[in-house]
Amino acid sequence: TEIEDAADALLAAQELMLQGCGAVLAKGGHLPGDRLTDWLVTRGGHVAFASDRIQTRHTHGTGCTLAAALAAGLGQGMTLEAAVARARAFVAQGIARAPGFGAGHGPLGFYPL
């Protein structure tokens, strides 16, 4: 099944939950539009995290960075929802600060912190 919009992403995340996942974070960054929505789906329900898209091609590493930042938050004892919110903010900062290297999808920028 193709995921074409935020509603499709939510349905896909809910389907993964039916397969036994404890939680699913469905990212919306590859979907079209000026706003993007990520869905956190747990056994307790779902939460939408929406934000304005930052118009850039320098997004190489966003998924890995999001996963690492989320894991760090959980390791620090944050709730899952709070860790997702902080990880998303961290990635958005990296996208906004991307140095613009090369002609393709360049890396995020986190320096100076």
Q: Which residues are catalytic?
A: 27, 59, 61-64
Q: Please report, for residues 15, 17, 83, the alpha-carbon distance to residue 22 in angstroms, rounded to integers and kept in the order given.
A: 12, 7, 15
User: What does the buried/exposed string (b/e) look like for 57-94 if buried means 16 or more CB atoms within 10 Å of the residue's CB?
Assistant: ebbbbbeebbeebbeebeeeebebeebbbbbbebbbeb
Alpha carbon distances (Å) from 93 to 4, 48, 85, 99, 100: 26, 19, 12, 12, 14
